[in-house]
């Protein structure tokens, strides 16, 4: 991999794409700064070499040009504190101010550009916009794994203007290495845990994993489509009616390939989608009308945990229930505990997919007890499905 370790940044201006798309509360305080912290080693390496850093990122999904709500200015103070220096800010990512501030940047200094998505050209992959951005620096570094599946200007198109000076940052490199390790060199048994709301989001990944894993565990909202497809009653639980045939096909494919596919045997049901709902446990496929399944049941927890704890490689993507509500977090927490046990007691390598699984593991305070928590949700899914990510390809080309 072409990483920043292969370049000495002394007296160079590095244009670094980071993913600072962090969640903010109503007062614009950062509620989870993991993605920012994850990019610090790359920034530090460039500064330590004697280079300067021009950071570019998006924040949220602004639709019609600049708005205060989506300004990266909100994160400037935190970034300065994290780096222990005063980060400069350009109120526009291209244009006179950006050009002037970039050219006046001294070694050891950091400049943050305003939200790239204030220009619709960014998401459109506009080459002229890419050329303008590229003028700000003389080396291009991509450290934004969370957006590596997008063929946007800052994540891919811009790389063509740095044919001999483009590198992966440390975060990108470790994300790709960890995903490759799981996909290509898993120690066995290899168990994939799939959860979350929809089967349709994860079909491609499940199909791909059937060629790789020894066990596949399916929980969360998507499990009810499987239960219904097998003739069970699921009340008002989540259902993707048009995916039932596919669910049966996946079960058959797992059988054909000798993969153990585990589905919940019992489930926690509620009379409404509410933390204070009445709840009880029933067998899978035996949910009364007007009740909905919001978590896996206690027999299922034991079944899943036993398989997970005996694994040497674990990939987890998607919660087992509505873990955001305390009443329905038990299954997800128990699975997280089993992943931690596999890692600590069985020496397993555990990779936690980004998005909601990362949010769950953070909620339970177990981030440091697993092998790796990815910062990419969609990007990791697509990489693992076998797609070439535009952000990775642009550096490799
Ligand atoms: P995903 O983004 O597909 O990984 O889905 C994550 C979301 O699925 C989380 O917000 C969970 O609350 C939700 N979820 C998990 N299990 C269920 C369930 N049984 N019913 C409804 N939503 C669920």
User: pLDDT for 77-119, tens place per residue?
Assistant: 999 999 999 999 999 999 999 999 999 999 999 999 999 999 9
Contact, 140 vs 167, CB < 8 A?
Answer: yes
Confidence of residue 39 (pLDDT cuts 50, 70, 90): very high
> Does 35 qualify as catalytic in the annotation?
yes
Q: Give the active site residue among 125, 221, 355, 376.
A: 355
Q: Which residues pair with 88 in a beta bridge?
A: 111
- Amino acid 395: pLDDT: 96
**Mean pLDDT within 255-276:** 98
> Does 355 qualify as catalytic in the annotation?
yes
Among 297, 354, 356, 362, the mutation site with the greatest number of ligand 1 atoms within 8 A of its Cβ is 356
Q: Which two tokens stand for residue 229?
A: 């497809």
Tokens 């504190």 sit at which residue? Answer: 81
Mean pLDDT of the chain: 96
Could you tell me if the CB of 199 is within 6 A of ligand 1? no
**Mean pLDDT within 248-275:** 98
Q: Give the active site residue among 37, 73, 181, 198.
A: 198
Could you tell me if the CB of 293 is within 6 A of ligand 1? yes
CB contact burial 320-347 (16+ within 10 A = b; e otherwise): bbbbebebbbbbbbbbbbbbbbbbeeee
Tens-digit pLDDT profile for residues 119-128: 999 999 999 9
> Does 77 qualify as catalytic in the annotation?
no
**Mean pLDDT within 136-152:** 96
> C-alpha distances in angstroms, 55 versus 84, 135, 181, 348?
16, 14, 29, 36
- Amino acid 149: pLDDT: 95
Q: Which 8-state DSSP code applies to residue 110? A: E
Give CA–CA dist 67/335, Å, rounded.
41
**Mean pLDDT within 14-43:** 95
**Mean pLDDT within 272-286:** 98
Could you tell me if the CB of 321 is within 6 A of ligand 1? yes
Listed by start position, the domains of the chain span 4-174, 186-384
Could you tell me if the CB of 363 is within 6 A of ligand 1? no
Could you tell me if the CB of 238 is within 6 A of ligand 1? yes
- Cis peptide, bond prior to residue 189, ω within 30 of zero: yes
Tens-digit pLDDT profile for residues 181-232: 999 999 999 999 999 998 888 988 999 999 999 999 999 999 999 999 999 9
Is the pLDDT confidence value at 354 over 80?
Answer: no
SS3 assignment, position 101: helix
**Mean pLDDT within 314-323:** 97
**Mean pLDDT within 286-315:** 98
- Amino acid 221: pLDDT: 96
Ligand 1 atom with least separation from CA of 322? 12
Contact, 296 vs 170, CB < 8 A?
Answer: no
> Does 391 qualify as catalytic in the annotation?
no
Contact, 138 vs 12, CB < 8 A?
Answer: yes
Find the radius of gyration of the CA atoms of the chain: 23
How many angstroms is it from 169 CA to the middle of ligand 1?
32
Tens-digit pLDDT profile for residues 377-389: 889 999 999 999 9
**Mean pLDDT within 38-56:** 98
Could you tell me if the CB of 359 is within 6 A of ligand 1? no
Q: For domain 186-384, which CATH number applies: 3.40.50.1260, 3.30.1130.10, 3.40.50.170, 1.20.910.10?
A: 3.40.50.1260
SS3 assignment, position 268: strand
Confidence of residue 355 (pLDDT cuts 50, 70, 90): confident
How many angstroms is it from 277 CA to the middle of ligand 1?
17
- Amino acid 73: pLDDT: 97
Domains 4-174 and 186-384 agree in fold: yes
Percent of the chain whose predicted confidence (pLDDT) is above 90: 95
Q: State the architecture of 4-174 in CATH terms.
A: 3-Layer(aba) Sandwich (3.40)
- Amino acid 377: pLDDT: 86
Give CA–CA dist 274/325, Å, rounded.
8
Give CA–CA dist 276/327, Å, rounded.
7
Is the pLDDT confidence value at 15 over 80?
Answer: yes
Could you tell me if the CB of 294 is within 6 A of ligand 1? yes
């Amino acid at each position: 991999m072409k990483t920043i370790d292969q370049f000495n940044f002394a007296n160079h201006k590095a244009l670094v794409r980071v993913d600072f798309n962090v969640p903010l509360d109503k007062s614009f305080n950062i509620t989870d700064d993991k993605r920012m912290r994850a990019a610090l080693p790359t920034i530090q390496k460039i500064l330590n070499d004697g280079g300067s850093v021009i950071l570019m990122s998006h924040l949220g999904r602004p639709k019609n040009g600049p708005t205060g709500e989506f300004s990266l200015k909100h994160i400037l103070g935190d970034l300065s504190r994290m780096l222990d220096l005063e980060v400069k800010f350009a109120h526009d990512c291209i244009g006179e101010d950006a050009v002037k501030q970039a050219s006046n940047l001294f070694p050891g200094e950091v400049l943050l550009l305003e939200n790239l998505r204030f220009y619709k050209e960014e998401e459109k992959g506009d080459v002229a916009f890419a050329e303008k951005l590229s003028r700000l620096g003389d080396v291009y570094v991509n450290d934004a794994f969370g957006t590596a599946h997008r063929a946007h200007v800052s994540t891919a198109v811009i790389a063509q203007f740095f044919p001999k000076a483009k590198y992966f940052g440390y975060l990108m490199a470790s994300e790709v290495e960890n995903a490759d390790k799981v996909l290509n060199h898993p120690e066995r048994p290899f168990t994939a845990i799939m959860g979350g709301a929809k089967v349709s989001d994860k079909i491609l990944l499940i199909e791909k994993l059937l060629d790789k894993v020894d066990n596949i565990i399916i929980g969360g909202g998507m499990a009810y489509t499987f239960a219904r497809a097998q003739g069970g009653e699921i009340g008002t639980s989540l259902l993707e009616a048009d995916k039932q045939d596919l669910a049966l096909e996946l079960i058959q494919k797992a059988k054909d390939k000798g993969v153990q596919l585990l589905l919940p045997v019992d489930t926690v049901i509620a009379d409404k989608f509410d933390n204070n709902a009445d709840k009880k446990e029933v067998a899978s496929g035996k949910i009364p009308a007007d009740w909905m399944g919001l978590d896996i049941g206690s027999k299922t927890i034991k079944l899943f945990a036993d398989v997970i704890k005996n694994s040497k490689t674990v990939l987890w993507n998607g919660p087992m229930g509505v873990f955001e509500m305390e009443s329905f977090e038990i299954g997800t927490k128990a699975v997280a505990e089993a992943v931690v046990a596999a890692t600590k007691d069985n020496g397993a390598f555990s990779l936690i997919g980004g998005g909601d699984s990362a949010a769950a593991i953070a909620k339970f305070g177990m981030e440091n007890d697993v092998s790796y928590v990815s910062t990419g949700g969609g990007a990791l899914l697509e990489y693992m499905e076998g797609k070439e990510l535009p952000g990775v390809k642009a550096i490799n080309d």
